[in-house]
Amino acid sequence: MTSQTPFFLWILGGSFAIAGSLATAADSFPADQIEFFEKSVRPVLAENCYDCHGDHKHENGLRMNLRSAILRGSDYGKVVEPGNPAASKLIKAIKHESGVESMPKKGDKLKPEEIAALEKWVQMGLPWPEEKEVAHGHDKADPMQHWAFQPVKKPSGTVDSLVGAKLKAAGLDFAPQADAAALCRRIHVTLTGLQPSFEDVRAFEKASAQNAKAAVDTLVNKLLASPAYGERWGRIWLDVARYADTDGYQVAGKDIRYPYAYTYRDWVVKSLNEDMPYDKFLMYQLAADKMVPADKAKSDPHLAALAFMNVGDRFISNKDLQTDDRIDVVTRGMLGLTVACARCHDHKYDPIPARDYYALYSVFNSCEEPANDAMPVIGRAPNENDVKDYEAKVAEIAQKDLEFKKKVYEEIRTPERVTEYLAFAQEAVTIKDRTALKGRAGALKLRDKVADQWADFLKRHALKAKPHPVMLAWKEFAALPADQFAAKAPELVKTLTKPDSGLNAVPRNELAKRPAPKNFGEVAALYADIFNTCLAGTQPDNADWKQVREILQTDPSPMSVPVEQANVFFTRKDLTQTVKMSNDRLKLEIEHPGSPPRAMVMVDKPKPADVSIFIRGNPSRRGAVAPRGWLTMFGGESFKEGSGRLELAQKIASKDNPLTARVIVNRVWTQHFGKPLVGQTSDFGVQTDEPVQHDLLDYLAASLMEENWSLKKLHQRILTSRTYQQAVLNTPDKALKDADNELLSRQNRQRLDYESMRDAMLQVAGELDSANMGGRAVPLTDKTVDSRRSVYLLVNRYDQATVPATFDFANPDNHSPIRYVTTVPQQALFLMNSPFMQQRSTKLAEATPVKGSTIDSEAIQSLYHRVLLRDASPDEIEMTQRFCNDADMLKRRAAAFVWRYGTAKVEKDATTGKVSLAGFEPLAHFGKVGQNTMRWTPDKVHPSKEYGYLYIGAGNGHPGSQWPAVMQWTTPFSKEKIRISGAIKRSSDKGNGIRAWIISNKKGKIREEFVKPASSVELTADLEVEQDEVLSFVVESENNDTNSDSYNWAPKIERIASDGSVAPITRADTDFCGPSQWPINRPKPQTPLAQLAQVLMMSNEFQFVD
């Protein structure tokens, strides 16, 4: 015991101390909070607050367009309490609470979602982009002089010469090269996200001793050719692409999974493995449909790339937010520009007018996403039987869907319903409010969408100045006052039935045959009869009936909608009924092995749809049209071809673009060094300072473009440099002159990211199936989950998994610029206590050969080789053997938690009077009885024919007829003084009571008590016990009368120390055991070797890369 705790604390405490020293974050607020502010808060402030509290007007001394000004407050004091919305005057004002002036003064009260956004913002602490002077390096009056907007020019030299020159100028030098073992692991992790084997490390050490440069070159090339490279770097790109396998909101029980997002993920992995030129990599994600051969326009695998624009949130079908999200991921992800900040106004710092934002908005507004079943099929399931089964099931669901639509289709076309809809349509024309129309239609049990279309039909054909000939009579009768209708209708009939009246012959003849209508409902019935005759197809084939047919079926009307599209008339109730069919179809697409892979594409609309600028981001306030086009700062050319996506892709991927190459080089560098060259990886705007290593950035960017945008060559150039291969060595001189390592005087220690940590644990445990690549997202509940790399696990945007988020997994709600490294207690708790860790360490221990019953040095060395990739030192072997011995002792002590359950006879020796227990028989069945909790019974049938109502549960039970209920506890200690306590309670007032015993197999009776009906008795005893002494806790019915003998009894056993203090050992209810002979509510103790394996996987040496 003495060595175990220090060892754990040494491992764990050191690990998280280092984690804390390495933690990085944004200068002020996390990127996701800034993102929330820009998308959800700034538009509200701009639209509702800036007129009175902006740059030029500060009513009551309050300014709302600067965080510092908001915190400063108004002439009357503070208006916000960061972190406390309820105490903030601003929130009270917008909620119109008493005691403060309601805001905004002009216009309506803010919408509930706007109030909620401001409350969340205040709760966060008012996240706001950093307020500072425009970055140095250019004239404030001319932001186009900013360093990042200048053309990329390749400086002379190499990575090492450029870095070396700055080090020399600072009086520093490179750190020594990392030792071969550390370098081998570093290169493996950075390129593949996986660990090398012990044999890999040994081979690299041997090769390095002969020729260090050749050894590194060979290793880098080998790993770049590994499929694991694409998996590692594909996951890094998925952060940029805000990848997820689901929507972010769930409405009406709808399945929110994206059935084909996985094809995008697999395309990314494959493209990177094939070293697709980065410019093409970007272009395909914006315009693959414009780039693939015409004969493959609906089947080319590259179409999967278009999901880059579609795997984001759907924002409850809000098209404006979807488009904003696409603009953001394209501009921040590919260009490193925060164009979305120009949504409400011209960009505050960068030369990006709002017109540019809406020019890009017009590009994406000119596109649309097809339905799932219209997505291009880009492959076929390998098993034809699976394909046939899938197609049959799809057809079955489609038939059910068609039948439901047919039911609606036929219902709205019955003569009675057509009459009712036409009668209501005239009233509906006068109802301006959509909600009121819906309510009125509902009251009449009519479908509001059908009524709406009939009303539109009347507006277009009957109520115009010059109505359609078929509808002339409708217009004339509708003009009659209701109170004079019956009186004036006969004269109107005479006029309308004249041959020259202009009325189509079909309604003219029908009017002539009938008595004059007494009210407008009879006019509606007349037209309903005509329309129903036409729909039935029984009318003569002449020009007059053709006119009727055309107005019904050619022009848009409820009758022109085909049965397949009857869903346009679905009510909320209908949609609820069809959700199951929709979910069943989606489930097939996602889970059935015969489902074909499809590309989650975006296509151009038939005609481009340029939009007008939203004044202050408000869609209801429009300014000038913003035609599709490029950013003004880089030329502002208009896009003419369709939506303009291909032209946009060409502009972004151009070598003339000063941002694209720099941005990706900075992202790649960040992964290799743990720190970017440019501090803001997705914001190269004028607020971002020129990097210390500007020449290095441009050298790498220019080299990337020269070498056909090859990312693999970029990796080679970086990883084979002396700069990359430096040791993690911080001398006092370096700490003084290069505290933040901006001069690159050493390598940075990095903590494994979540995926690398999880994959490495599965790898060393021998569970990872690295050959199983691609395919549909794997749910965390799937039986194969512990054999798959993390890149393939389902990313649920709606219900994000806790553990990945705890370890800083990218939030898929938005584009993620970088993984911010945090240190929180939950990380330590996961490493110490999670089932995942216990399962991995147990698997690893099982795979470790052990000779005999003790853990020898060979077993320890085997673990060190697999986990830490090195030999254990003699001191470590000695320490770990002590640790394992202590752990083994603890495991033996864990037997103190174990209880057994059965029945036996209480016997009393006639001579000595000693009480003992005879013939203990374990209860055979464990499970639920009816609706009860888990319990032990003699057999599955309860009550039992032989044993009656006998059972034992967690702290409760019932004796059987002539069969006592017995709980047994065996002491695992050689000699201990213990205390037994706990009351036994019989709740029922029926029957004649029960008798309780505590009996030792060594000492005989310890206690005996009779418990009367509806009473309780405390049973306590202090005694000294020895190894393997069995204590039995017995309950029997008095005189074998079991009527109402249910009881509650949870004996507690404690250890009594020499000073009289007590410490808990076990308690019968909390340590209630199941068939595994272990408490069902306690994790089962690991073997000493498994505990050692877990400790090694928790260690600094495993969790961090030097």
The tens digit of pLDDT for each residue in 337-372 reads: 999 999 988 998 899 999 999 999 999 999 999 988
Mean pLDDT over residues 441-447, rounded? 85
What are the two backbone dihedrals, phi and then psi, of residue 246, each rounded to the nearest 5 degrees?
-145, 165
Q: Which residues pair with 963 in a beta bridge?
A: 960
Say if residue 35's pLDDT is above 90: no
Where is pLDDT greater, at 136 or 177?
177
pLDDT tens digit sequence for 3-30: 333 333 334 344 443 333 333 333 468 8
**What distance in Å separates the CA atoms of residue 42 and residue 52, rounded to the nearest whole number?**
15
In a domain, 769, yes or no: no
Q: Supply 572's token pair.
A: 């909320």
Where is pLDDT greater, at 432 or 245?
245
Please, which pLDDT band fits residue 1059 given cuts at 50, 70 and 90?
A: very high
- Residue 565 confidence (pLDDT): 84
Q: How far is CA 454 from CA 400, 428, 664, in A?
A: 28, 9, 56
Mean pLDDT over residues 982-1002, rounded? 94
Domain co-membership, 94 together with 193 = no
**String of b and e for 298-312 (b: at least 16 CB within 10 Å)?**
eebbbbbbbbbbbbb
- Residue 1094 confidence (pLDDT): 94
Q: Supply 196's token pair.
A: 């090398």
Average pLDDT, the chain: 90
Domain co-membership, 86 together with 149 = no
In a domain, 10, yes or no: no
pLDDT tens digit sequence for 231-242: 999 999 999 999
Where is pLDDT greater, at 515 or 553?
515
Domain co-membership, 545 together with 473 = yes
**What distance in Å separates the CA atoms of residue 626 and residue 339, rounded to the nearest whole number?**
15
What DSSP letter does each residue of 507-518 carry, written as one string?
Answer: HHHHHHHSPPPS
Q: Supply 563's token pair.
A: 């049965």
**What distance in Å separates the CA atoms of residue 1002 and residue 996, rounded to the nearest whole number?**
18
In a domain, 783, yes or no: no
Mean pLDDT over residues 777-783, rounded? 93
Residue where a domain stops, chosen among 620, 652, 684: 652
**What distance in Å separates the CA atoms of residue 194 and residue 761, rounded to the nearest whole number?**
9
When mean pLDDT is compared across 641-645, 703-707, 874-878, the lowest value belongs to 874-878
**What distance in Å separates the CA atoms of residue 905 and residue 1036, rounded to the nearest whole number?**
9
Say if residue 789's pLDDT is above 70: yes
Q: How far is CA 541 from CA 472, 499, 535, 537, 538, in A?
A: 22, 20, 13, 9, 9
**What distance in Å separates the CA atoms of residue 631 and residue 610, rounded to the nearest whole number?**
15
In a domain, 294, yes or no: yes
Q: Supply 691's token pair.
A: 């990097």
In a domain, 745, yes or no: no
Mean pLDDT over residues 48-60, rounded? 73
Q: Are 966 and 1032 in contact (CB under 8 A)?
A: yes
Instruction: Map residue 581 onto helix, strand or coil.
Output: helix
Domain co-membership, 909 together with 1032 = yes
Domain co-membership, 962 together with 1059 = yes
Q: Are 47 and 344 in contact (CB under 8 A)?
A: yes
For 36, the domain range is 31-124
- Residue 977 confidence (pLDDT): 95
Domain co-membership, 926 together with 1025 = yes
In a domain, 1095, yes or no: no
Q: How many CB atoms within 10 Å of residue 399?
A: 10
Give Cα 821 distance to the centre of its chain: 19
Say if residue 692's pLDDT is above 90: yes
Say if residue 916's pLDDT is above 60: yes
Q: Which residues pair with 915 in a beta bridge?
A: 908
Give the HSE-up count for residue 263: Cα atoms under 13 Å, Cβ half-sphere: 29
The region that residue 1063 occupies, defined by phi over 0 for left and psi between -120 and 50 for alpha, beta otherwise, is beta
Residue 342's nearest CA partner among 328, 322, 321, 363 is 328
Task: Say what the pTM is.
Answer: 0.78
- Residue 21 confidence (pLDDT): 35
Please, which pLDDT band fits residue 535 given cuts at 50, 70 and 90?
A: confident
**What distance in Å separates the CA atoms of residue 408 and residue 777, rounded to the nearest whole number?**
36
**What distance in Å separates the CA atoms of residue 306 and residue 230, rounded to the nearest whole number?**
18
Where is pLDDT greater, at 975 or 201?
201
Domain co-membership, 534 together with 429 = yes
In a domain, 634, yes or no: yes
Instruction: Classify residue 979 as exposed, middle or buried by CB count within 10 Å of its CB (0-12, 13-18, 19+).
Output: middle
On the question of a cis peptide bond just before residue 959, with omega within 30 degrees of 0, the verdict is no
In the chain, % helix, strand, coil (3-state, to 5) comes to 50, 10, 40
Residue 349's nearest CA partner among 36, 140, 145, 636 is 140
What are the two backbone dihedrals, phi and then psi, of residue 139, each rounded to the nearest 5 degrees?
-75, 130
Residue type, 625: V
Please measure the distance between the N-terminal and C-terminal CA atoms of the chain and give it in whole angstroms.
32
Q: What is the CATH number of the domain that holds 938?
A: 2.60.120
In a domain, 1032, yes or no: yes
- Residue 553 confidence (pLDDT): 80
Domain co-membership, 908 together with 1053 = yes
Q: Are 456 and 462 in contact (CB under 8 A)?
A: no
Give Cα 1077 distance to the centre of its chain: 39
Residue 259's nearest CA partner among 602, 581, 583 is 583
Mean pLDDT over residues 376-398, rounded? 92
Say if residue 948's pLDDT is above 60: yes
Domain co-membership, 919 together with 1040 = yes
Say if residue 42's pLDDT is above 50: yes
Residue where a domain stops, chosen among 589, 617, 652: 652
**What distance in Å separates the CA atoms of residue 152 and residue 142, rounded to the nearest whole number?**
19
**What distance in Å separates the CA atoms of residue 917 and residue 903, rounded to the nearest whole number?**
10
- Residue 13 confidence (pLDDT): 40
How many domains does the chain contain in total? 6
**What distance in Å separates the CA atoms of residue 781 and residue 237, rounded to the nearest whole number?**
25
Q: How many CB atoms within 10 Å of residue 452?
A: 19
Domain co-membership, 96 together with 163 = no
Mean pLDDT over residues 696-708, rounded? 98
The region that residue 252 occupies, defined by phi over 0 for left and psi between -120 and 50 for alpha, beta otherwise, is left
Ranges assigned E (strand) in 796-887: none
Residue holding tokens 């205390």? 979
Q: Supply 305's token pair.
A: 């790339």
Instruction: Classify residue 243 as exposed, middle or buried by CB count within 10 Å of its CB (0-12, 13-18, 19+).
Output: buried
What are the two backbone dihedrals, phi and then psi, of residue 588, each rounded to the nearest 5 degrees?
-60, -45
- Residue 233 confidence (pLDDT): 99
Mean pLDDT over residues 207-229, rounded? 98
Q: Are 635 and 669 in contact (CB under 8 A)?
A: no
Which run of H or E residues covers position 388? helix 384-411
Say if residue 2's pLDDT is above 50: no
Where is pLDDT greater, at 372 or 154?
154
Domain co-membership, 259 together with 212 = no
- Residue 14 confidence (pLDDT): 41
Highest-scoring range by mean pLDDT, 217-226, 1033-1042, 1087-1096: 217-226
Instruction: Map residue 249 onto helix, strand or coil.
Output: coil
Give Cα 396 distance to the centre of its chain: 32
Which run of H or E residues covers position 979? strand 975-981
Q: How far is CA 670 from CA 359, 677, 697, in A?
A: 32, 7, 12
Q: How many residues does the chain have?
A: 1106
- Residue 15 confidence (pLDDT): 43
**What distance in Å separates the CA atoms of residue 1018 and residue 106, rounded to the nearest whole number?**
73
Domain co-membership, 366 together with 459 = no
